[in-house]
Amino acid sequence: MKSITSTGYNPARLGWEESVFHTANGYLGVRGSPEEGAPEGVFSVRGAYINGFYDIKDIQYGEKLYGFPETQQTTINLMDVQTVRLWVEGERFTLSEGEVLKYDRELFLDRGVSEKRVLWRSPQGREVFIRARRMASLEQKELFLMKYAVMPMNFSGEVVLESEESGEVSNFFNPNDPRVAAEALKHLHITRAEHTPGGTLLAGRTDRSSLEIACAVAHQVESAAEKETWQAGERLFTRFKAHVPQEESLTLTKWCVYADSRRHPDAQDAAQRILEDSLAKGLQHFLARQTQILSAFWAASRVEVEGDKALQSSLDYSLYTLLCSAGWEGISSVGAKGLSGEGYEGHYFWDTEIYVFPFFLMTSRNIAKGLLEYRYNILDKAREHARLMGHPKGALYAWRTITGSECSGYYPSGSAQYHLTGDVSHAFIQYYLATGDLTFMRDRGAEVLVETARLWLDAGHEEKGQFRIDAVTGPDEYTCVVNNNFYTNAVARENLSWAAKIIKILDKQGMAEDVRKKLNITKEELRAFEKAAKRMYLPYDKERDIHAQDDSFLRKQRLDLKAIPKENFPLLLHYHPLWLYRHQVCKQADTVLAHYLFEDLAEPSTMANSYAYYEQCTTHDSSLSTCVFSIMAAKLGDLGKAMDYFNRSATLDLDDTHGNTRDGIHTANMGGSYLAMVAGFGGMRIKEDGLHLSPQLPEKWEGYAFRLRYQDSLIACRVRRKGCVLEVLEGKDVKVYVHGQKVKLKKGERTKVDA
């Protein structure tokens, strides 16, 4: 397993490094900020975050109308434990003074450890080698470890390490970028700050959500050193001083435990107890467990590409980061920036269900199920949101949220995106098709499907024998509040159909009684679901043989993207929304995405024509776009174009192609890169009749391989020029479809299928 590296100190890339080399485990994330602090004038966001830990703030409007959300939740920056300052013979180490002789950073994907190595010459000529390692434990989610070692290279002398834990933190803001917070607010108020035997304890409460957070820290030094402690307000200091011989080291290990009141009734007690238990187990235990957990993860999920080492590294980084970003316990989900930064304020979007969830569904079922549990747990909030939006029945999931209430203040590209409700139902349907887990569908899934289907019955209406849905926004946020968005109608159609279907399936197994009683489901209502699904209007332009994005899109003036200066992209930062809404221009895949998810709704010629048409007017200003175009290019047989789009998706963060990775990594795009491999080149689809594969091999590759969990089996697929080889590694024999032909796979036997 390779690592991700960055070589050479460049102050302009510090923000990018902080995001890419962040340390996270799905619960806790810490940005890779310099331990000594960022040089003055250099962009840096020093942050630590807990998934789903938030505060509340007001949404300001010039003109507020009925139903506009008054407040929103925002993830908050936690106590800062990253600081370790260094002095050698009285000279303070800083990257802005002296000479950086060597600087590199490395993330070990098989060990879950991030490392920074610096060889520094002080202004007076003293050379020291600094090695700083970090780990967010995948076993004990509350635990973050730092190990900071200093070695004098050309002298023997006094070395001082000063550790600081600070409660004086606030969130990053940028009033000129809608993708981050627009104002500076201090959300965390420290209620306790004190030194403890061997460490420190900081505790605080959020300003308006009244959530509690505690951080307990212990210090361990591997050699004899003088120790001094002091406090300045909400800042706690511990200083270690020792005489260190040449080419020997002074090493400080910081054990940092964060615990919050959403998971622990007494956060302070939990933080201290977990810290004590962790210290008793010791560092080697956690290092070994990290490797074991990741070994199992890679064995089930790694996608291998033969013939492109750079692409392999990008894929490995994407899948590792997905693991580190995802909530699993039903309280949290996957933020747009994972746990790497404050972009989009930690909110959860439709990104999770459409781009991220499929990866976990096919590789890590416990996480996939946890993500669905989260949506089920906020179903009551979705019901409340539906009432606020004028629907007497059903559930409407909020466009961006943490706990379930709407956090978007701009409804045209926020609350109007009703498709998210269908996206959530799609994830539940895919889960059932991939697992056959009727117990979960009885206890959770059926309720979600029925309540969301009720929403569509009220949001839409029948006209001339067609079921239509007006005044919604599809995935393309450059085209807002339209009638009959093709994508929205497609997900609503599936939602309505499956709401009736899952009740019938449960009926046949004698498992529907509790659901029927709880939701007061009638036969008439189920027939109404089926009727609406059958009559769903899907806009189609016969002359062009394409599906129209909505009723008005094809009548608008077409925008010449080539005439727009490159510096004016992304368009949302340079043009008024209304100007964008008046033109045929797409921020991201919309109809093309629907063709991927629901390929059986259109003829191959229609999908090909739609792809060609929308490709000409799509800017890909959204990171969610190029992966979808790659998937559909592969579906249509254009592997060269599929490769071009795939490379743009896979390298987005490591190459910082959108120029905003410093605000956090693009989590959904990482899921999209996985899908471009498995669903694009691999042709993977989960349908009612089973798992479908249609592997194709691009010219530049020698081969590729991936593994999928389907039903009770783990299936390996290796693709070569002449075909593919399939094998059941775990579980039972299983039937799949390869290029449309049914193939029976037997455990322990390799089955070759010609191209």
Write out pLDDT tens, residues 423-471: 999 999 999 999 999 999 999 999 999 999 999 999 999 999 999 999 9
Q: pLDDT tens across 662-680, in order?
A: 999 999 999 999 999 999 9
Residue 718: what pLDDT?
Answer: 98
pLDDT of residue 173: 66
Residue 160: half-sphere exposure toward Cβ, Cα within 13 Å? 13
Residue type, 592: V
Does residue 180 register a pLDDT over 70?
no
Element (H, E) at 273: helix 267-281
Number of Cβ within a 10 Å radius of residue 730: 14
Mean pLDDT along residues 321-326: 98
Percent of the chain with pLDDT over 90: 96
Distance of CA 362 to the CA centre of its chain: 16
Tell me the C-alpha to C-alpha distance, in Å, between residue 441 and each of 419, 449, 504.
21, 9, 12
Please identify which residue in the block is written with the tokens 């600070």.
166
Question: What is the residue-averaged pLDDT of the chain?
Answer: 96
DSSP 8-state secondary structure symbol assigned to residue 404: S
Confidence of residue 176 (pLDDT cuts 50, 70, 90): low
Q: How far apart are CA 140 and CA 707, in angstroms?
A: 27
Say whether pLDDT at 661 is over 90: yes
Give the span between the Cα atoms of 9 and 130, in whole angstroms: 14
Q: Is 491 within 8 Å of 423 (Cβ atoms)?
A: yes
Rounded Cα gap, residues 465 and 271, in angstroms? 61
Quick one: how far is CA 643 from the chain centroid?
23
6, β-bridge pairs: 105
What is the pLDDT averaged over residues 126-149?
Answer: 98
**Banded pLDDT at 2 (limits 50, 70, 90):** confident
Which residues contact residue 336 at a Cβ distance below 8 angstroms, ignoring those fewer than 6 apart? 343, 344, 347, 348, 349, 351, 664, 666, 667, 668
Is the pLDDT reported for residue 523 higher than 70?
yes
Q: How large is the average pLDDT for residues 270-298?
A: 98
Give the span between the Cα atoms of 729 and 418, in whole angstroms: 40
| Length in residues, the chain | 755
CA–CA distance, 376 with 372 (Å, rounded to integer) = 6
Which residue, among 3, 670, 25, has the nearest Cα to 290 in the 3D structure? 25
Query: Which pair of structure tokens corresponds to residue 525?
Result: 């209502």
| Coil vs helix vs strand at 616 | coil
Average pLDDT over residues 230-251: 98
Angle at 589 between CA 587 and CA 590, to 5 degrees: 100
30 pLDDT above the threshold of 80 = yes
Of the listed ranges 2-6, 282-286, 633-637, the one predicted with least confidence: 2-6
Domain boundaries, the chain: 3-297
What local confidence, expressed as pLDDT, does residue 237 receive?
98
Average confidence (pLDDT) over 93-121: 97
Mean pLDDT to the nearest integer, 594-610: 97
Q: What pTM does this model have?
A: 0.97
Cα dihedral angle (640, 644, 646, 649), rounded to 10 degrees? Answer: -170
Measure the CA dihedral 474/480/485/486, to 10°.
-50
**Is the CATH code 2.70.98.40 the one for domain 3-297?**
yes
Quickly state the pLDDT bin for 484 (edges 50, 70, 90): very high
pLDDT at residue 472, as a whole number: 98
Beta bridge partners of 744: 735
Q: 127, 234, 451, 477: which one is catalytic?
A: 477
Burial of 208 (0-12, 13-18, 19+ CB in 10 A): middle
pLDDT at site 172: 76
* Backbone φ and ψ of 720, nearest 5°: -125, 180
Q: What average pLDDT does range 594-615 have in this prediction?
A: 98
Inter-residue contact 86 to 164 (CB < 8 Å): no
Q: What is the pLDDT of residue 530?
A: 98
Q: Which helix (H) or strand (E) holds 480?
A: none
Q: Is 477 annotated in the active site?
A: yes
Q: pLDDT-based confidence at 181, cuts 50/70/90? A: low
Q: pLDDT class for 171, splitting at 50, 70, 90?
A: confident
How much is the average pLDDT of 283-289?
Answer: 98
Q: Where do we find the tokens 């050699």?
A: 223
Name the token pair of 450: 């029925």
Average pLDDT over residues 174-186: 60
- Please provide residue 538's backbone torsions phi and psi, each rounded to the nearest 5 degrees: -120, 100
| pLDDT for residue 178 | 58
Which whole number is the average pLDDT over 699-728?
96
Contact between 192 and 201 (Cβ < 8 Å): yes
Question: In the predicted model, is pLDDT for residue 1 greater than 90?
Answer: no
Single-letter code of the amino acid located at 28: L
Cα distance between residue 23 and residue 340, in whole Å:
8
- The position carrying tokens 């930690």 is 346
pLDDT at 177: 56
User: CB-based burial of residue 392 (10 Å sphere; 0-12 exposed, 13-18 middle, 19+ buried)?
Assistant: exposed
pLDDT bucket at 187, cuts 50 / 70 / 90: very high
Q: Is the pLDDT of residue 183 over 90?
A: no
Among 443, 580, 422, CA closest to 493: 422
Query: Region 561-567: what's the mean pLDDT?
Result: 95
